[in-house]
């Protein structure tokens, strides 16, 4: 299934994409797509519904975050060896983990530059959404805890991340720096998360082309490793790292400017498009 939510912020309604690619309204069946919906029982209940019985949505409008009230937003750094090389860093011996403070935003919502930001960058990433509680999970059992997958743009302010004291979180958690979606694609539709093409363009120029098979630590390993440090719950998000081609790695570096447009996608998981804006608090609502 491809699940999504549409409508103004705070007023989103649940929906799905049927096998013919048409949007169908779920609001007569469930109030919203939430953590409980992402559990095996919740997803099985939705699978029992004939999509053709659901009302068509002619024009969904704004696409929101695919599920309400996301949990932890956990990210993985330098998880592609060629991206580590362009960053001038060693390939990590175990996953580098950090968190995003910001709440996720819709796939096509604005990206707002922080005040005086000069080095805001892009990163297309495979997102993993947890569906069942996981702590000290074996690698072999890890994928059974996945509800689904999505596209994430791990927008990053490199000066804040790398040139100021403290953790990476300063450059990763700025408002609007976590577009997610457009859909949550359930795990049964993605039999091999380690063979997905992913790409990103800025103003029509292709900067990132990669495949998840070149991850240093695959999805199962990441879930196993993260579960050694914290309990994962339904609705938690893992952003699994980016392939090469980020702005910081260009010669000379290229960073986002107001008016730029990012377009990115992952095979089978849909596409995002974001316009970049200078700081404006009104765009954060």
Q: List the pLDDT tens digit at each of the 285 positions of the chain.
A: 999 999 999 999 999 999 999 999 999 999 999 999 999 999 999 999 999 999 999 999 999 999 999 999 999 999 998 887 887 778 889 999 999 998 999 999 999 999 989 999 999 999 999 999 999 999 999 999 999 999 999 999 999 999 988 888 999 999 999 999 999 999 999 999 999 999 999 999 999 999 999 999 999 999 999 999 999 999 999 999 999 999 999 999 999 999 999 999 999 999 999 999 999 877 876
CA 194 to chain centre: 16
Would you say residue 266 lies in a domain?
A: yes
Question: Following CA atoms 8, 280, 204, 99 in sequence, which dihedral angle do they give, to the nearest 10 degrees?
Answer: -80
- pTM beyond 0.75: the answer is yes
* Residue 282: predicted pLDDT: 76
CA distance 207 to 27: 39
* Residue 198: predicted pLDDT: 98
CA distance 2 to 270: 10
* DSSP sequence for 38-64: GSHHHHHHHHTS-GGGSPB-S---SB-
**E strands along 84-224, which residues?**
96-99, 105-106, 111-112, 120-121, 124-130, 146-153, 156-157, 179-180, 184-186, 197-202, 205-211
Burial of 193 from C-beta contacts in 10 A (0-12 / 13-18 / 19+)? buried
Would you say residue 126 lies in a domain?
A: yes
Would you say residue 67 lies in a domain?
A: no
Residue 141: CATH number of its domain: 3.90.850.10
CA distance 256 to 206: 14
Domain count, the chain: 2
120 and 225 share one domain: yes
46 and 84 share one domain: no
86 and 209 share one domain: yes
* Residue 88: predicted pLDDT: 79
170 CB-near residues (< 8 Å, 6+ apart): 157, 160, 161, 164
Tokens of 128: 């993993």
101 and 140 share one domain: yes
Summarize pLDDT for 101-119 with one digit per residue, the tens: 989 999 999 999 999 899 9
* Residue 285: predicted pLDDT: 64
CA 56 to chain centre: 26
168 and 279 share one domain: yes
Cβ–Cβ contacts within 10 Å for residue 58, how many?
8
3 CB-near residues (< 8 Å, 6+ apart): 14, 15, 16, 26, 33, 37, 46, 66, 67, 148, 183, 184, 185, 186
CA distance 200 to 1: 24
Would you say residue 150 lies in a domain?
A: yes
**Domain enclosing residue 126, as ranges:** 73-284
* Residue 7: predicted pLDDT: 97
103 and 31 share one domain: no
CA distance 36 to 248: 39
34 and 80 share one domain: no
């Amino acid at each position: 299934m491809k699940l999504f939510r549409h409508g103004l912020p705070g007023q989103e309604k649940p929906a799905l994409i049927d096998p013919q690619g048409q949007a169908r309204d779920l609001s007569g069946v469930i109030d919203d797509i939430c953590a409980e919906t992402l559990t095996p029982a919740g997803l099985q209940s939705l699978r029992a519904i004939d999509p053709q019985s659901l009302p068509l949505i002619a024009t969904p409008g704004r696409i929101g975050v695919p599920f309400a009230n996301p949990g932890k937003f956990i990210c993985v750094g330098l998880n592609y060896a060629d991206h580590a090389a362009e960053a001038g860093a060693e390939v990590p011996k175990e996953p580098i983990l950090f968190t995003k403070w910001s709440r996720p935003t819709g796939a096509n919502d604005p990206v707002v530059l922080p005040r005086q930001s000069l080095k805001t960058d892009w990163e297309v990433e495979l997102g993993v959404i947890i569906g069942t509680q996981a702590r000290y999970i074996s690698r072999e059992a890890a994928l059974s805890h996945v509800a689904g997958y999505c596209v994430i743009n791990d927008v990053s302010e490199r000066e804040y991340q790398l040139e100021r004291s403290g953790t990476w979180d300063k450059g990763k958690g700025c408002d609007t720096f976590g577009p997610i979606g457009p859909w949550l694609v359930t795990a049964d539709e993605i039999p091999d998360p380690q063979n997905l093409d992913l790409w990103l363009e800025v103003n029509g120029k292709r900067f990132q082309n990669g495949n998840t098979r070149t991850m240093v630590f695959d999805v199962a390993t990441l879930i196993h490793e993260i579960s050694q440090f914290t309990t994962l719950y339904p609705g938690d998000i893992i952003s699994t790292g980016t392939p090469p081609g980020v702005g910081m790695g260009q010669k000379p570096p290229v960073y986002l400017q107001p008016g730029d447009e990012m377009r990115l996608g992952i095979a089978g998981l849909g596409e995002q498009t974001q316009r970049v804006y200078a700081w404006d608090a009104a765009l954060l609502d």
